[in-house]
Structure 1
Amino acid sequence: MGAMSFSYPVAVKFSEIDLAGVVFNSHYLTWCEDAKMAFLDDVGFGPYWFAEHGRLALVRHAEIDWTASLRPLDHADIRVVVERIGTSSFTLRHEIWRRGESALLTATCVITYVWFDTAAGAKAPLDSHFREALEASRVA
């Protein structure tokens, strides 16, 4: 069983560049959050669903491995893949690929999210429909 890849475009802005002339580290997490929300919307669980159902997907753990730099005006694609589905959490792998004649992997961000019930103020088991949507996105 292969993984279906969801892709989210990013255009590097000058305001995201640090003194070394490359993207400041924290912007990668911001991009991954945007890509996560677009991915979840694509599988039927956009931000309005979360608000209406009193749920959040909170970051529990994040790891980033950088393999190349992005510079101003570069264009990249964040490929989002479901890596793991747990009882009350799920893990997404975000691969950030620089576009061009030969695509280049610039970073991989693996982020675990915990399903949070806002009314109870605590983590909760994943919604069964949400779980099904994540599982369906893993099928090629």
Structure 2
Amino acid sequence: MMFSTPVAVKFSEIDLAGVVFNSHYLTWCEDAKMAFLAEVGFGPYWFAEHERLALVRHAEIDWVASLKPLDLAQIRVSVDRIGASSFTLRHEIWRSGEDPVLAATCVITYVWFDRVRGEKASLDEAFRAALEAAR
């Protein structure tokens, strides 16, 4: 399954060299992650009702090409790895248009966190199954 969600590039997200500030890449990826998880049946209300969080454990950002203000881009999300208490999503940010261009990749590992116990936990089996099905 390849999930994709749009993003419109804003003037405030770009430096003078035409490179997106890293913090904005991560914000875009957080929004894309939440949309992806909602698509596979685990939206934000599920997390609240089950006292779970998917916290960033590690993030890598690789810049490939510049984006300009007012560009439209697509963030493609795919499951890269599923562990015992963590999962990794690959986010590819593509400039939209007739000839799409890969602008950046962000590979982010999330740890499954139990809010009641205040510690990491094993992935819920239904969540694991949803990730496997989306893989």
TM-score normalised by structure 1 residue count: 0.94
1:71 aligned partner: 68
Calculate the aligned-residue CA RMSD, in Å. 0.9
Post-superposition CA distance 1:2-55 (Å, at most 9, x none): xx1100100001121223343222100000000000000000000110011000
Alignment partners' CA distance in 1, 2:5 and 2:106: 14
Please list every run of 5 or more consecutive structure 2 residues that lacks an aligned counterpart in the other structure: none
Q: Which of 113, 118, 129 does residue 126 from structure 2 map onto? A: 129
Equivalent position amino acid for 1:95 in 2: E
2:19 is aligned with 1:22: yes
Equivalent position amino acid for 2:86 in 1: S
Are 2:29 and 2:91, in contact at CA under 8 Å, matched by a contact in 1?
yes
Q: Secondary structure at the match of 1:57?
A: strand
1:32 aligned partner: 29
Equivalent position amino acid for 1:126 in 2: L
Are 1:22 and 1:72, in contact at CA under 8 Å, matched by a contact in 2?
no
Post-superposition CA distance 1:68-121 (Å, at most 9, x none): 011100000000000000000000000000011111001010000000000000
1:87 aligned partner: 84
Are 2:2 and 2:78, in contact at CA under 8 Å, matched by a contact in 1?
yes
Please list every run of 5 or more consecutive structure 1 residues that lacks an aligned counterpart in the other structure: none
1:55 aligned partner: 52
Alignment partners' CA distance in 2, 1:68 and 1:17: 12
Are 2:18 and 2:66, in contact at CA under 8 Å, matched by a contact in 1?
no
**Percent of counterpart pairs with the same letter?**
81
Moved over 4 A (4+): none
2:39 is aligned with 1:42: yes
Count of residues paired in the alignment: 135
TM-score normalised by structure 2 residue count: 0.97
Q: Secondary structure at the match of 2:126?
A: helix
2:6 is aligned with 1:13: no
